[in-house]
Structure 1
């Protein structure tokens, strides 16, 4: 079937009736990822035009859609002016990507290749990983083959968030915990794995735009070379202690955990997650640049702008709280979010909404301080 997205028309597999993932019997295509792709184009435009890359704002460079499937990402990148290459191990996917470039009158290269092998012999300004499930098997090659920016989608949120604990430990080399801030747990586990992988090659990977949306995590990592800078990113790794009873938590940087065994708020045994990335998951100035490049032609423009707005105001504290979870734990009726945040601020605690949910917020205040401020 044909779909039109972001100004390009694509041939994609027919969607099975009721298939939420958009998978046909052949090459994979997921219509639910349009927001992800809209934001990718906005990020690429901001990167090329605002001087964030080595080109200094001189325009688009080279872009690799490493597991292209229908080629929708590569085609949209080419339509945005990038010198796009699409690779896939499936020859049908490569043929379909080439067909989709051609029908839109766009130049681009389509190559049947294993992404890992390809990225050890070819180099691009931007490498985009959007595999089915975890991106971990492709991270080493991506940080070897990318010069400026690595884009990563991870759809295996259960291992990332600690719901599938053993799988999360195996894949990400970290201890994830299934907490009430599970979406942010997934973000910080993924970023930890990315930063540690990049550092092995003396590359500093800095997240400039990251979001957890629906069933996936998406991050964009700016690259800088040098052991000193890579060490600085590793210094942003650490651990989070969390109480499953009262939702108290604390964090500390360092690769060696020094857990708090007993919750200082309620006395319950705590659990520890890590190593997690504890630094800022986005750059506010870059988020603003991305927001400016979301266009009305994008099918998910409204959601993209709302996400950018929320990220722009989100504090960088690890980790967020859920207001409804807290009030439920306290056995009290929740108040409106504006009233709730105003009470926190009036008590002297900085606070902001977060993009993880409509009732999520960030503050450096402890659980006890939050309760005292709002009850």
Structure 2
């Protein structure tokens, strides 16, 4: 069937089930239109704001490392990028070439593993986009060793990332993930930790300029700076989360080695979970996010949804690990109030608070669980 996204029209396999192409054909996920629309707006923003010495280096190069139908690479080519599209599936390579021709676009399509393309001498890219099925970990080393400016990463293995599949998360991300009520953000910050640590091995500082969790995947865009000293500084953003399973209190500590408390500082309980290393710095740059939002346009089918998402991210308080309002009220055995009233109660009590993009009842604040309870329950009484 023919799909139109943005400025391109491509041929893809007939959809079979939720979110995927036919079982025997080239994979295509129509539910990823939001991901691809935001990617195009981010590429526009990168070219305008983040690309160093752009005039000297000519047309920016972009690697669509797992191209499948080629729709993401076609859209980048339509934006004027010098695109390379890679896939190990011969059918995907043929389909990507057909879709380029359908749109009168030029790109280099290669039937190779992404790691081979990245490590080939003389094939360093300005932007590398990793969108694998599952974990991006096997491709992270090659990406950071062979990319100049921007690495874009999607991870769809959210269960290992958030600790629901604990052993798998430890193996794939070299971290201790924990399945908490803030599991979407746990997964994102475990992913960012792995990426920042991998980049540092190549004397590269990876700075997330936009990150989000949507539709059972995590997506992040990392601006790169090269040098040992800046890579060392990037590692300072890593640390540990200590989470009390009894009262939901959490605390954070920066550093490469954890010093977990024996008991919860709030309730004195001994069920404190240690998670990390996680990324504790801000997972986005508000100015970059605002610019991405400004680069959305009416050709994008997911523009309205993308706008709402980016507005929420742009306004998020810089605080690690969101709270879920409903889960707090359930723990307190109290009926929940409306989110607007809830956040206003926190602000009136002197605490900064904002909605979070991870869900309709998620929010950010620097207040502790005890301070949140006092602020909102005192008001309701």
TM range (shorter): over 0.9
Map of 2:340 onto structure 1:
338
Partner Cα distance (2:253, 2:54) in 1: 36
TM, length-normalised to structure 2:
0.96
Equivalent residue number for residue 372 of structure 1: 374
The residue aligned with 1:5 is 5
**Partners of 1:261 and 1:7 in 2: how far apart?**
57
Q: Secondary structure at the match of 1:147?
A: strand
Native 8 Å contact 1:47 1:57 kept in 2? no
SS at match of 1:294: coil
| Structure-2 residue corresponding to 1:93 | 92
SS at match of 2:267: coil
CA contact (8 A) 1:87 1:113 kept: yes
Q: What aligned pairs does 1:1-375 form with structure 2 within 5 A after superposition?
A: 1-16=1-16, 18-49=17-48, 51-56=49-54, 61-121=60-120, 122-268=123-269, 269-375=271-377
Query: How far apart, CA to CA, are the structure 2 residues paired with 1:353 and 1:238?
Result: 24
8 Å CA contact 1:48–1:57 kept in 2: the answer is no
C-alpha distance in structure 2 between counterparts of 1:344 and 1:23, whole Å: 49
* RMSD over aligned Cα atoms: 1.2
Preserved contact between residue 87 and residue 94 of structure 1 (Cα < 8 Å): yes
SS of structure 1 residue aligned to 2:63: strand
Name the SS of the counterpart of 1:4 in structure 2: strand
Task: Write out per-residue CA displacement over residues 142-177 of structure 1, whole angstroms, 9 at most, x where no aligned residue.
Answer: 011210000000000000000000000000000000
Aligned residues: 373
CA 1:223 to 1:244, structure 2 compared with 1: closer, same or farther past 3 Å? same
Which ranges of structure 1 fall in alignment gaps of 5 or more residues? none
In the TM superposition, structure 1's runs of 4+ consecutive aligned residues that sit over 3 Å from their partners are 55-60
Shift of 1:22: 3.4
For residues 236 and 248 of structure 1, the distance between their equivalents in structure 2, rounded to whole angstroms, comes to 21
Normalising by structure 1, what TM-score?
Answer: 0.97
Structure 1 residue 21: Cα displacement: 2.7
Q: Say which SS state the counterpart of residue 179 (structure 2) adopts.
A: coil
Report if the CA contact (8 A) 1:45-1:60 is conserved. Answer: no
SS of 2:148's partner is strand
Q: Secondary structure at the match of 1:178?
A: coil
Contact persistence 1:23–1:30 (CA under 8 A):
no
* Distance in 1, Cα, partners of 2:55 & 2:370: 47
- Answer yes or no: is the 8 Å Cα contact 2:54–2:60 preserved in 1: no
